[in-house]
Amino acid sequence: MNQLYMGKNILLLWLSLLAGVSAYSQTSTRLYKERALGSEKGGSEVAIRIDSLGKLSYLLNDSTLTAFLPDSKKATGTAVLIFPDNNLKSQTIDSLSLNVAKRLVDTGIAAFIVKHKALQQSLSGTGKADSLSAASQALEDGPRAIEYLRQHATGLKIQTTRIGLLGFGAGGELVLQLAQRYVAASRPDFVASVNTANQSVSTLVVPPDAPALWVVITTGDTQQAAIQHTQLYQHWIKAGRSAELHIYAAGGNGKTIDQSGESWTIWINQLVNWLRTQGYLDRALPTAGQSQAQTVVPEKTLATNEATTVVKTSVAKAPVTQSEPVVFRKKQPSLNQASGFRISGVVRDSATGQPLAGAAIVIDYRKSLTGTTTDSKGYYSIDLPPGEHLLVARIIGYTPVRKIFQVRSEPITVNVAMVSVASQLEEVVVTTKGFDQTVRQPILGVNQLNVNALKKLPAVLGEVDLLRGLQMLPGVSSVGEASNGVNIRGGTTDQNLILLDETPIFNPTHMFGLFSVFPSDVLSTVDLYKGNVPARFGGRAASVLDVSLRNPNLEQFSLSGGVSVVSNKLTADIPIVKGKLGVLVSGRGAFNDFLLPVISDKLANIKAKFGDVVLKAFWRMDDKNTMTFMGYTSKDAFQTDLLANLPNVNGTATRYDHQTLNLMARWFRSISPRLNLQTTGTYVHYVPRILSPELSGNVVTLRSSVLQRQVKSSLNYQLNNQKLELGVSGTHYRVEPGTLLPGQSESVNYVTTPTENALELALYADYERSLGDKLAVSVGLRYSHFLSLGPLLVRRYRPGETRDEFSVIDSIQYGAGQITQQYGGFEPRLGIRYSLGPNASLKFGYNLMRQYLQVVTNTATPLPTSRWKTSDPFIKPQVSQLLTAGYFLTMKDNIYELTLEGYWRSTQHIIDYRPGADFLLQPYPETQLLQGKSKAYGVETMLSKKKGELTGWLNYTYARTFNQVYEGATVEQNVNNGNWYRAIYDRPHTVNANMTIDVDRHNSFGFTFSYSTGRPYSSPTGYVTIEGVQYPYYGLRNNERLPAYHRLDFTWNIYNPSMRNRRWEGRWAFTVYNLYARKNAYSIFFKTESGKTNAYMLQIFAAPIASLSYNFVFK
């Protein structure tokens, strides 16, 4: 609102009025410069009619303020804003309002009639259709009118502290609302309500400085009005505020008070009388220069504890709704000048304004000398010497507040507004997804990672790592620091389906397990399904990690990136057609391997470079169709002494090189608001290679490849409390297990293994429904069918004997496309949630999953070059059944969360290996493989605090995994003599704890602690001496354990250190990994050297690793 414009307008009118005006004068002012909200027609100019007799007739389109000003000799400096009732037929100001205005003016009070919006609508005949919106719009008029009066108080000759409201009927409703909800500038000093008839009289909250209240009604037709007004009066009184209530028993339709007959004079006299007793009829014109709202601090109300009605002094301090301190200067001297000056104030909840009792107040951290707590009114007071002080206010459930203030020569007031923790956003990294009322998410055993909170965790060498963050969850473990994947609930690493925007990732780490491949800057959501896996996912036996990248920003270009010890990254959001088409490009490159020897000298012989680039385009074709395209490629090249050389090739060194290309295209079509169709095509090509340069310089390459192409489509139907999804998918696998490319070598031949072709088809249906408010059920059924296709040579072996060259009977050659073997079956998925109350629930789940593509490797963790194998006539698919039960509880307004989950898993046809198995370029891998079964069980508990200045979680897991492999009695046909043995990732006890402290907007600290029992390893059961040389003999598998693993990390994140908001935002992260230098063992191995067997322990990160990284965002 342009005050200057309004001022000129008013002045013009005023001057014209003065030119020949009588005792009564009226001016009408438009409250809004622009067209007011809700007014469809164009705003017209104000039509003013000056009528000394007070009879007006003019059309009003906008909200207006009609002024009736008293004679300047009589003027008392008090003003009343009148809000008329809205059941009117005429378009003029009603006569009641007019009469009241005249009467007030007679007593020297300036009266302003407000044509508020509700009134508007009834005038224009739209009726009371949408009273809510009308009322809320009208509610704006009141404060605006008050503000306007205060701003022009001098000109209008009114005191800013003597502005009151008077409302009739519907106007009275408005007025009562305004009496309870206001900000300092728009607080009325007194409020009068006349015959406000209905339900909206309910009291919300009576503010501590609520205006004095005057009410008159009749019991009328319904007693409701009387009862409610009585309650209103009581609330007012109990809050210690001044109130006066008149209830007339006169019958029928309240005729006595709202008509312009004589009866209105009855109550108007009482109103005037009340105004007199309140002092508003005393002459107190404003002094020049006073234009802003000022409130005076009376001494009495602060110190009083009783709920007395305050009669004389009518005003308390304005409530503080921001967190800035409001500092006042008191006029009277302090109580105790010798030891300093008194500071006092009130601590309130910033949202509701309610005072907070029992809040701890400490000055300058000296609790013993200057600590106190607030009383039941939220009031505190402390004496302090002059100088600068820091006040800290704390109370449970609220974010602590710190303020610096100066004490000079007078006592001051420092008020504090505290923000409730419950209203903050959840900060913790991981939440177990609770039940979602709209049944969009599945129910049990889903963990969602908060990517932003993940970035605050300590990270190795400054690289935010998703897989390491995952290992902080209960049920997720790994075999060690350089492990190429994670183990979830007793499954192997290849039993987890890792999806990046629906494309599978075959090798999830760079640099052999040190860093993960996910581009952390563009992650959107990370969902880990380790319990109930929805039927739309299939193909792996243990879990699904669904990572999706965010969509490009369609509106604004932005650039972000970072530099750290390991890698350099850059991300750009490029909108191409604003609002319709945008592209996101993100790349990361690591070329800093020259720094690795500085960190650990075992890493000295590592040469490692990696890079990944992702490109995502999103096209909103129209309201119903969108297309998404994603391309991701990653490449690694590394060489290390810690990995074995390519055998049987005379190479001088060995380099590992792997790359992948993932492409995805998705079309989303919304057929109706409840039904949509989603079709996706993906293409993934993963090529790992081993390069072995010979003495002559020629490079011999061992190359393998996995190619997966998939098309799937699903139909989603969603109702209020049910959801149905139907889908179909088809996947083609082409696996080239290995080809030896000699290059120019004269020593090495070209050797290749037969390519595997396979087709996996699936049909699924997923139904989720909530039955009542206690029970929710998710039922899914997936049918998957697998066909192994030719061309393939399939051998037949003598039954009962070890499969090897000596037991082959014959072989069958299948042609291209012929089916060599089929497998298939149903995969039921069931989840049930039963609510024990608003905060607690029980969950049960059952899952069956089939896996047709797996890794065959006998190493502790799969190499990037490990072989992927589809099921075939000898290798049956792995089938895993999982049973879970859990208890889920949130406490204290969803701030704390407790989860308790137990599981039992049983897997058939797990893969294990004969002693000395060799898969490298092996055309008949069935001669090296054995299949057995596995059982795993465990209990996972987690307690997390999700909101507040301090967030974090603590979890404990007890988990066991055992395998049994027995295909025959000889040593080549079984493992561990057919007894159950511990899996390589069997770690019974695991504890993870994390704590993140947000000190202020610019700093946060994080600590992460993890403890886990050491993983099993095989140690010799005896030693043998052959020709004077001592060798170890291993009779059992995984019979010993490594020492326990534990480590503490620390991070300090500094955001925008210059403390200014600019287009460029930067963040420094200082991290120390393994703070107390625990030498965690990766493996214990035995080596025969110079005739003797010695035991060694290999550690990867044995020393604390500190790093500094910088990330920026530029918009």
Q: Hey, which residues between 550 and 579 contact another protein (CB under 8 A)? A: 565
Q: Could you say which residues in the range 1067-1086 bind another protein, by CB under 8 A? A: 1070, 1072, 1077, 1079, 1082-1086
Whole-number minimum distance, CB 1022 to another protein, in Å?
Answer: 2
Among 1019, 1056, 1064, 1114, contact with another protein (rule: CB under 8 A): 1019
Whole-number minimum distance, CB 812 to another protein, in Å?
Answer: 24
The residue whose two tokens read 């057929």 is: 671
Sole window of 55-63, 145-153, 883-891, 1014-1022 interacting with another protein (rule: CB under 8 A): 1014-1022
Identify which of residues 937 and 1085 has a Cβ nearer to another protein in the complex: 1085
Beta-bridged to residue 1110, according to DSSP, are 563, 1068
Contact, 620 vs 626, CB < 8 A? yes
Identify which of residues 128 and 367 has a Cβ nearer to another protein in the complex: 367
Identify which of residues 81 and 467 has a Cβ nearer to another protein in the complex: 467
Identify which of residues 52 and 1030 has a Cβ nearer to another protein in the complex: 1030
Q: How far is CA 686 from CA 507, 549, 673, 938, in A?
A: 8, 20, 39, 34
Identify which of residues 642 and 728 has a Cβ nearer to another protein in the complex: 642
Whole-number minimum distance, CB 740 to another protein, in Å?
Answer: 5
Q: Which residues contact 335 (CB under 8 A, 6 or more apart)?
A: 342, 383, 411
| DSSP per residue, 837-851 | SSSEEEEEEEEEEEE
Q: Give Dmax over CA atoms of the chain in angstroms.
A: 131
| DSSP per residue, 119-151 | HHHHHTT-TTTTHHHHHHHHHHHHHHHHHHHHH
Q: Could you say which residues in the range 862-881 bind another protein, by CB under 8 A? A: 862-863
Beta-bridged to residue 609, according to DSSP, are 637
Q: Could you say which residues in the range 766-795 bind another protein, by CB under 8 A? A: none
The interface mask with another protein, positions 891-930, x = CB under 8 A, is ----------------------xxxxxx--x---------
> Is residue 751 involved in binding another protein (CB under 8 A)?
yes
Identify which of residues 668 and 1068 has a Cβ nearer to another protein in the complex: 1068
Distance CA 683, CA 802 (A): 38
Contact, 662 vs 709, CB < 8 A? no
> Is residue 644 involved in binding another protein (CB under 8 A)?
yes
Whole-number minimum distance, CB 595 to another protein, in Å?
Answer: 9
Identify which of residues 966 and 1052 has a Cβ nearer to another protein in the complex: 1052
Identify which of residues 553 and 1093 has a Cβ nearer to another protein in the complex: 1093
Q: How far is CA 282 from CA 277, 315, 881, in A?
A: 9, 17, 86
CB atoms under 10 Å from CB of 1098, counted, come to 14
Q: Could you say which residues in the range 788-827 bind another protein, by CB under 8 A? A: 805
Among 1093, 1110, 1113, 1114, contact with another protein (rule: CB under 8 A): 1093
> Is residue 672 involved in binding another protein (CB under 8 A)?
no
Among 11, 1030, 1062, 1115, contact with another protein (rule: CB under 8 A): 1030
Identify which of residues 741 and 1113 has a Cβ nearer to another protein in the complex: 741
> Is residue 999 involved in binding another protein (CB under 8 A)?
yes
Q: Could you say which residues in the range 362-421 bind another protein, by CB under 8 A? A: 362, 365, 367, 390, 392, 394, 400, 402, 404
Among 92, 224, 295, 858, contact with another protein (rule: CB under 8 A): 858
Q: Which residues contact 1047 (CB under 8 A, 6 or more apart)?
A: 1009, 1010, 1073, 1074, 1075, 1076, 1078, 1080
Contact, 211 vs 164, CB < 8 A? yes
Q: Evaluate the CA torsion angle 302, 308, 309, 310 in order and state its sign.
A: negative
Considering CB under 8 A, how many residues would be counted as binding another protein? 117
| Of 552, 555, 554, 546, residue with least CA distance to 571 | 552
Among 424, 650, 678, 718, contact with another protein (rule: CB under 8 A): 650
Whole-number minimum distance, CB 1082 to another protein, in Å?
Answer: 7
Distance CA 683, CA 665 (A): 9
Whole-number minimum distance, CB 1089 to another protein, in Å?
Answer: 8
Can you tell me whether residue 276 is helix, strand or coil? Answer: helix
> Between 170-180 and 131-151, two packed helices, what is the crossing angle to 10 degrees?
60
* Angle value at C-alpha 328, between 322 and 333, nearest 5 degrees: 150
Among 769, 1108, 1113, 1114, contact with another protein (rule: CB under 8 A): 1108
Contact, 883 vs 906, CB < 8 A? no
Among 297, 310, 997, 1044, contact with another protein (rule: CB under 8 A): 997
Whole-number minimum distance, CB 239 to another protein, in Å?
Answer: 31
Beta-bridged to residue 620, according to DSSP, are 626
Q: Could you say which residues in the range 502-531 bind another protein, by CB under 8 A? A: 512-513
The interface mask with another protein, positions 95-124, x = CB under 8 A, is ------------------------------
> Is residue 1087 involved in binding another protein (CB under 8 A)?
yes
User: What tokens does 928 get?
Assistant: 């090296």
> Is residue 1096 involved in binding another protein (CB under 8 A)?
yes
Whole-number minimum distance, CB 700 to another protein, in Å?
Answer: 8
What backbone torsions phi and psi does residue 434 show, to the nearest 5 degrees? -80, -175
Sole window of 21-29, 133-141, 361-369, 786-794 interacting with another protein (rule: CB under 8 A): 361-369
Among 37, 812, 819, 969, contact with another protein (rule: CB under 8 A): 969
| DSSP per residue, 722-771 | EEEEEEEEEEEEEEEEEEEE-TT-SS---EE-PPEEEEEEEEEEEEEEEE
Identify which of residues 959 and 983 has a Cβ nearer to another protein in the complex: 983
Whole-number minimum distance, CB 1010 to another protein, in Å?
Answer: 20
**Residues found in the chain:** 1115
Contact, 412 vs 405, CB < 8 A? yes
Identify which of residues 707 and 917 has a Cβ nearer to another protein in the complex: 917
Whole-number minimum distance, CB 1114 to another protein, in Å?
Answer: 23
Contact, 201 vs 180, CB < 8 A? no
> Is residue 52 involved in binding another protein (CB under 8 A)?
no
Among 1097, 1110, 1112, 1113, contact with another protein (rule: CB under 8 A): 1097
Contact, 31 vs 148, CB < 8 A? yes
Whole-number minimum distance, CB 923 to another protein, in Å?
Answer: 11
| Of 81, 200, 188, residue with least CA distance to 136 | 200
Identify which of residues 612 and 972 has a Cβ nearer to another protein in the complex: 972
Among 625, 971, 979, 989, contact with another protein (rule: CB under 8 A): 971
Whole-number minimum distance, CB 806 to another protein, in Å?
Answer: 9
Q: Could you say which residues in the range 695-734 bind another protein, by CB under 8 A? A: 695-696
Whole-number minimum distance, CB 933 to another protein, in Å?
Answer: 18
Cis bond before residue 673 (omega within 30° of 0): no
What backbone torsions phi and psi does residue 381 show, to the nearest 5 degrees? -150, 145
Sole window of 617-625, 709-717, 851-859, 877-885 interacting with another protein (rule: CB under 8 A): 851-859
Sole window of 108-116, 430-438, 576-584, 691-699 interacting with another protein (rule: CB under 8 A): 691-699
Q: Could you say which residues in the range 575-604 bind another protein, by CB under 8 A? A: 598-603
| Of 692, 609, 704, 686, residue with least CA distance to 655 | 692
For the chain, the helix, strand and coil percentages under 3-state DSSP, each to the nearest 5? 15, 45, 40
